[in-house]
Amino acid sequence: MRISYDRNDVDREKIVQWLTTYAYWAKGRPAEVINQSIDNSVTISVLDDEGTFVGFGRLVTDGITFAWLCDVFADPDRRGQGIGKMVAQGAMDYFKNGEKIFFLLRTNDAHELYRRHGFEEVAGPENWMSLRLT
């Protein structure tokens, strides 16, 4: 398997189906919103040895100081093959020649996966704020 940052390698139909069907954070998200988010992000695709799209993640970033890793998803039929790990590593590798990047992500159920890559709970969560416009 390999990582690609080429947006042309994203199987948009597949990722729309996966996110709207299986992802607790994106159920009901319109396809046009998913496609716009892909267009405005750094994409991380995982392709198997035959070139089949089997995993995805995206980085919302300024490219210098901050990156939010989101929409990480592995093909439900390929779970347990290290695809999520590849996306997490691909996110960090994307910046390996740059400045130190502050990464954020949000997960309900994959804390141990991300801890293995050095992620920790947010220090000083009382200093962080958020706003969700609906």
Q: What digits encode the pLDDT tens for the residues 56-88?
A: 999 999 988 899 999 999 999 998 899 999 999
Res. 131: pLDDT tops 80: no
Give the CATH class of 2-118: alpha beta
> For the whole model, what pTM was predicted?
0.86
- Cα 106 vs. chain centroid, distance in angstroms? 10
In the chain, what are the domain boundaries? 2-118
Place of tokens 């050095």: 118
Which residue type does 17 have? Q
How far apart CA 33 and CA 1 sit, in angstroms, is 28
Q: Which of 120, 82, 64, 112 is nearest to 3 (CA)?
A: 82
Tokens read off for 132? 């969700």
How far apart CA 68 and CA 103 sit, in angstroms, is 6
